[in-house]
Amino acid sequence: MSYKIPMGPYHPGLEEPYKLDMICEGETVRDAELHIGFNFRGIEHLAETRNYFQVIALMERVCGICSFIHTLTLCQSMEQLAALEPPPRAKYIRVVMAELERLHSHVLWAGIAAKLMGFKTMFMTCFALREKVMDILQAISGNRVNYSMNRVGGVNRDIEDPLALLPAVDELEREMMRTVIPIFTTSSTARSRCAGIGVLTHEKAISCAVVGPTARASGVAQDLRRAAPYAVYAELDFEVPVEQAGDVRARLFVRALEIIESCRILRQALSKMPPGEIAVGGDKFSFATGTATSRVEAPRGEVMYSVTWKENSRNPARVHVRTPTYANMPAVRWMVRGARLADTPLIQASIDPCYSCTDR
Amino acid sequence: MTTLDSLREKLGIAEPWVESRGTHWLNPGSIGLRELAKVMNQVQARFVTITAYQLPGDEGFRLEYHWDLEGRLLGFPFLAKGSSMASIFDLCEAADWIEREVHEGFAIDFTGRDYEPLLLRPGDAPGVNLREIPAPVKPPTGLQGQEEVAR
């Protein structure tokens, strides 16, 4: 006999408001229905009522974790409409901020995953590390969550002494290599909770069009930093980690390896940062009539903005946002099929879901 | 590697690709949306999203379908007259949520599929989020209005 177990929209096993209705037989999940929209704020409509300064502040609030990425994608679209090319230094600063945000997001995710595994000590260790990343973000931007770094034509704040940040990056990498990564990849607790759990096959990953670490853990080698480079990623040397197993452990491995790659990118970007201006275009912009599209590899995968403007207007005519969790979340239905009920909180967390992004 | 021109030939479209502000655009002409979706599956393009725009007056809607082909973002604009468009959900399961969202945001009906609510809550109506709905005609006021109500 099958029965339905609702999990959410408010549940100790879920960090954010959404709902999974699981159809179970005994302790085995046979199918699941997903429900979102509990955090819907109508941001795409609000964007049409904001001018070109206000819309950046608005879109920064789509997500609390990858707020920089959202404004970066928006500003890149608006720069195409304004025919502006940010100066090289601004592009390097954007890469530094984007990679720090990736570190912050991945370490935060590792902490939450550890908590869901029942590994509370690891949760505390990860969150202590996350604090160090946030300290660097605060030192650069003056803010810990919404950084207000991006503007049309560049960035708002300079990194006055980039090389001074290198020891902090080294320390972060050392801590990751010494504690977080070995424990996650070799401990029997992590292995028993993650290996073979929540499998998303390569074929299903392609048909669901999942993105980011979720796709790369199922053998889909796509990363916009490599496939469609923006800012200065084309000038930097880094690997794109790909795993084949498609389970929770593979998603954990991909993120762990990406932490190392982010540190590598950060070291290069901080060392190579050229001198010069950090923004062009002044404070008044005119945007051409038409649509511009930009895509960025956020910590959770591809973010895409389509921005439409009408000439002589201060407000965008339309802003459409496609976030990574929006692409990844439907695949959870396939991941939980056949899983034990007790594993479902960890399985849904393994895609690093963000409902603030998804609901917009 | 599939080149853009080989894809265009496969689709039987004579017009060239136009690269503009982050997207390679191709006017689908007489190619139907479902036919396009089948070809995109064949070349293993990744579905990205649908962006909907309301056109002025009674012109309907423009729906831009985006796929990623080996790092290149492809865009195909389609016109939806009369608030209706063929669904590609059965050909491309990744289009499920965005079709539901566009349906809820603009009250566009994707034919050939059923809907579950996505972002709307009970009591909300499709189109409440993004569709421009003409302002209701103001009821007559003053003495004339009172007389009309009395009649």
d(CA A330, CA A310): 35
Assign residue A177 a region: left if phi > 0, alpha if psi is -120 to 50, beta otherwise?
Answer: alpha
Of residues A36, A83, A101, A47, the one with CA closest to residue A296: A101
Which of the residues A33, A230, A291 would you substitute to probe the B interface, choosing the one with the greatest number of B C-beta atoms within 10 Å?
A291
Q: How many helices (H) and strands (E) does chain A have?
A: 16, 8
Domains in chain A and their CATH numbers?
41-328 (1.10.645.10)
Q: Is the pLDDT of residue A254 over 80?
A: yes
* Structural domain count of chain B: 1
Q: Does A209 contact B21 at a Cβ distance shorter than 8 Å?
A: no
When CB atoms are compared, the residue of A206, A292, A327 closest to B22 is A292
Q: What would the mean pLDDT of A168-195 be, rounded to a whole number?
A: 84
Rg of chain A's alpha carbons, rounded to an integer?
Answer: 20
A82–chain B nearest CA distance, Å: 11
Q: What would the mean pLDDT of B73-77 be, rounded to a whole number?
A: 93
Q: DSSP secondary structure string, A285-346? A: ----SEEEEEEEEETTEEEEEEEEE-TT-SS-SEEEEE-HHHHHGGGHHHHHTT-BGGGHHH
> Does B120 reach chain A within 8 Å, measured CB to CB?
yes
Spell out the residues 6+ positions from residue A109 whose beta carbon is closer than 8 angstroms to its own. A255, A299, A349, A352
- Please name the amino acid found at residue A330: P
φ, ψ of residue A134 in degrees (nearest 5)? -65, -30
Q: Does B49 contact A36 at a Cβ distance shorter than 8 Å?
A: no
Q: Output the pLDDT for position A17.
A: 82
Domain of residue B65: give its range.
4-150
Q: What would the mean pLDDT of A102-118 be, rounded to a whole number?
A: 87
Counting beta carbons within 10 angstroms of the beta carbon of residue A138, is it exposed (0 to 12), middle (13 to 18) or buried (19 or more)? middle
Which of residues 125 through 144 in chain B touch A, CB cutoff 8 A?
Answer: 129-130
Report cis status (omega within 30 of 0) of the bond before A9: yes
Q: Output the pLDDT for position A90.
A: 95
Classified as helix, coil or strand, B122 is: coil
d(CA B23, CA A47): 22
- Top-confidence residue, B148 or A328: A328
Q: Does B97 contact A294 at a Cβ distance shorter than 8 Å?
A: no
Question: How many Cβ atoms are within 10 Å of A289's Cβ, its own excluded?
Answer: 12
Q: Output the pLDDT for position A189.
A: 79
For residue range A330-339, list pLDDT tens digits in order.
999 999 998 8
A358–chain B nearest CA distance, Å: 10
Question: What CATH number did the domain enclosing B58 receive?
Answer: 3.30.460
Which of the residues A226, A233, A306 would you substitute to probe the B interface, choosing the one with the greatest number of B C-beta atoms within 10 Å?
A306
Q: What would the mean pLDDT of A189-199 be, rounded to a whole number?
A: 84
Kindly report which listed range (A205-209, A310-314, B64-68) carries the lowest average pLDDT score.
A310-314
Of residues A200, A181, A182, the one with CA closest to residue A261: A181
Q: Is the pLDDT of residue B4 over 90?
A: no
In B, which residues are within 8 Å of A318 by CB distance?
51, 53
Are the C-beta atoms of residues A209 and A304 closer than 8 Å to each other?
A: no
A59–chain B nearest CA distance, Å: 17
Take residue B136 and report the two structure tokens written for it. Answer: 């209701």
Q: What would the mean pLDDT of B9-24 be, rounded to a whole number?
A: 87
* Most distant CA atoms of chain A, gap in Å: 69
A290-298/A301-309 β-pairing:
antiparallel
> Does B89 reach chain A within 8 Å, measured CB to CB?
no
When CB atoms are compared, the residue of B94, B105, B130 closest to A208 is B94
Q: Output the pLDDT for position A102.
A: 94
Say what the ipTM of the complex is. Answer: 0.87
In A, which residues are within 8 Å of B20 by CB distance?
290
Q: Output the pLDDT for position A2.
A: 85
A312–chain B nearest CA distance, Å: 18
In B, which residues are within 8 Å of A224 by CB distance?
71
Q: Compute the count of residue pairs across chains A and B with CB atoms less than 8 Å apart.
A: 84
Q: Is the pLDDT of residue B138 over 70?
A: no
Q: Which residue do the tokens 């073979």 mark?
A: A196
Classified as helix, coil or strand, B96 is: helix
When CB atoms are compared, the residue of B21, B92, B94 closest to A290 is B21
d(CA A168, CA A349): 29
Take residue B33 and report the two structure tokens written for it. Answer: 């949306």
Take residue A80 and report the two structure tokens written for it. Answer: 């195409």
Are the C-beta atoms of residues A212 and A298 closer than 8 Å to each other?
A: yes
> Does A81 reach chain B within 8 Å, measured CB to CB?
yes
pTM: 0.88
Q: What would the mean pLDDT of A275-281 be, rounded to a whole number?
A: 90
Q: Output the pLDDT for position B139.
A: 63
Take residue B89 and report the two structure tokens written for it. Answer: 């959900």
Q: What would the mean pLDDT of A107-133 be, rounded to a whole number?
A: 87
Q: Given pLDDT bands bounded at 50, 70 and 90, which one contains residue B136?
A: low
> Torsion over CA of A81, A84, A89 and A92, rounded to 10 degrees?
20
Spell out the residues 6+ positions from residue B122 whose beta carbon is closer than 8 angstroms to its own. none
d(CA A40, CA A317): 20
In A, which residues are within 8 Å of B119 by CB distance?
36-37, 40, 359
What is the chain B residue with the closest CA to A320? Answer: B51
**What share of chain A has pLDDT > 70, as a percent?**
99
Take residue A53 and report the two structure tokens written for it. Answer: 């300064």
When CB atoms are compared, the residue of A80, A227, A304 closest to B21 is A80
In B, which residues are within 8 Å of A207 by CB distance?
93-94
Q: Does B73 contact A228 at a Cβ distance shorter than 8 Å?
A: yes
- Please name the amino acid found at residue A193: R
Q: Does B21 contact A224 at a Cβ distance shorter than 8 Å?
A: no
- Top-confidence residue, A282 or A90: A90
Q: Given pLDDT bands bounded at 50, 70 and 90, which one contains residue B150?
A: low
Which of the residues A48, A84, A304, A318 would you substitute to probe the B interface, choosing the one with the greatest number of B C-beta atoms within 10 Å?
A304
Rg of chain B's alpha carbons, rounded to an integer?
Answer: 20
d(CA A65, CA A355): 11
When CB atoms are compared, the residue of B22, B119, B129 closest to A293 is B22
What is the chain A residue with the closest CA to B22? Answer: A293
Q: Is the pLDDT of residue A354 over 90?
A: no
Which of the residues B1, B2, B49 would you substitute to probe the A interface, choosing the one with the greatest number of A C-beta atoms within 10 Å?
B49
Counting beta carbons within 10 angstroms of the beta carbon of residue A229, is it exposed (0 to 12), middle (13 to 18) or buried (19 or more)? middle
d(CA B22, CA A296): 11
Q: Is the dihedral of CA A108, A95, B44, A35 positive or negative?
A: positive
Q: How many helices (H) and strands (E) does chain B have?
A: 4, 7
d(CA A306, CA B22): 9
Q: Output the pLDDT for position A360.
A: 82
CA distances from A75 to A282, B75, B135 (A): 14, 20, 33
Q: Output the pLDDT for position B133.
A: 65
For residue range B107-118, list pLDDT tens digits in order.
888 888 887 777
